[in-house]
Amino acid sequence: MLIVVMEKHAPVRQIGAVLKEIEGLGLQPHLSRGEHQTVIGCMLSGESEPVKSRLGTMEGVERVFPASRPYRLASREFRPEDSLFHISGVPVGSSRLAMMAGPCAVESHAQLMAVAEVLTASKVPFLRGGAYKPRSSPYSFQGLGPKGLELLAEVKSRTGLRIVTECLTTGDVELVARYADVIQVGARNMQNFALLQELGRCRVPVLLKRGMMSSLEELLMSAEYILSKGNSQVMLCERGIRTFEQATRNTLDISAVPVLKRLTHLPVIVDPSHAAGDRALVPSLALAAVAAGADGLIVETHPDPDRSVSDAAQALSLQAFAELMQRSEEVAKAVGRSFYN
């Protein structure tokens, strides 16, 4: 495949001409229109050189290159320096780490306020909490929905905490985007390409979780879906993969941190809670992630973990979370970094 990058703000006329040329060569063009830039993929059946020459000289074409790696905008080659973006004032992707914490599911105002109090005291900038929950069973609690979003909004207005919450379907993107500072894509949706494209068209930063049996290359290609539609604020999240080992819920692939930092400029967040599935293991994994070079953590904590409506086993008590926050800061300092607060 060839990637044809059009100049920024290239007029529709020029874009149309390139599409026509590709079809005239008997090839299949694939159009990706971001806000700032249009990219055209061109599937080849034979030699790439003649096609590359032909397209490279057309009006409005910035450059043409073969997609040696299947992702492009997500790659380090495309952008050698780390991405750094500000999410409602919080820098992510810099030398400062971002802590995101909160309950698996939004349950009540009281629950959220109890969590928020501890987060504020620990100077944690992001509150996570699910209003929509993807559940393996149709009979399980599926989240409070819009009511949950309202509860998050209330806590935000009282505390200033930025909200991280999941969106499950294309139909909900617009609504969730009105409430969220960061929209989370869950592991099961990592290859829900329609959802990724919809999120690419919105302006809210995205936390993209790795599928539990997805390769790092596939994770980067899913990020590419979002980036290619014009949303450049994508954070990648390692949350454990499936392996034969049954001692933990998933196997945290800690190597994903240095591997991703080499391949991509996007920030890498680690979720030790879903990886472990057991709160006793969460602190060790969180500290390991900081030491390995992660740009942030997303951790489950709950005022009364054993009464959590979902994933009870892996949520830290608020006190255990506060302790972890302190220990994480020590390790961050040891590797020359610090948490944003």
* Least separation in angstroms between CB 39 and a second copy: 7
- Asked if 194 and 170 count as a contact pair (C-beta separation under 8 A), the reply is yes
**Strand 206-209 with 61-66, pairing:** unpaired
Q: Provide the 10 A C-beta neighbour count for residue 281.
A: 18
- Asked if 251 and 215 count as a contact pair (C-beta separation under 8 A), the reply is no
Residue 115, amino acid? V
Q: In this complex, which beta carbon is closest to a second copy, that of residue 21 or of residue 253?
A: 253
Strand order in the sheet with 38-43: 28-33, 38-43, 2-6, 61-66
* Least separation in angstroms between CB 160 and a second copy: 29
* Least separation in angstroms between CB 242 and a second copy: 4
- Asked if 283 and 314 count as a contact pair (C-beta separation under 8 A), the reply is no
Per-residue CA distances from 248 to 103, 280, 308 (Å): 20, 11, 20
Q: In this complex, which beta carbon is closest to a second copy, that of residue 276 or of residue 316?
A: 276
Q: Provide the 10 A C-beta neighbour count for residue 294.
A: 28
* Least separation in angstroms between CB 244 and a second copy: 4
Q: Please name the helix (run of DSSP H) or strand (run of DSSP E) that holds residue 176, with its range, or none.
A: helix 173-179
Q: How many residues does the chain have?
A: 341
* Least separation in angstroms between CB 200 and a second copy: 9
Q: In this complex, which beta carbon is closest to a second copy, that of residue 48 or of residue 88?
A: 48
Q: In this complex, which beta carbon is closest to a second copy, that of residue 39 or of residue 180?
A: 39
2: nearest Cα among 36, 34, 49: 49
* Least separation in angstroms between CB 12 and a second copy: 20
Residue 176, amino acid? V
How far apart CA 196 and CA 208 sit, in angstroms, is 9
* Least separation in angstroms between CB 247 and a second copy: 5
State how far Cα 303 lies from the chain centre.
Answer: 26
Q: In this complex, which beta carbon is closest to a second copy, that of residue 65 or of residue 85?
A: 65
Q: In this complex, which beta carbon is closest to a second copy, that of residue 157 or of residue 244?
A: 244
Q: In this complex, which beta carbon is closest to a second copy, that of residue 39 or of residue 161?
A: 39
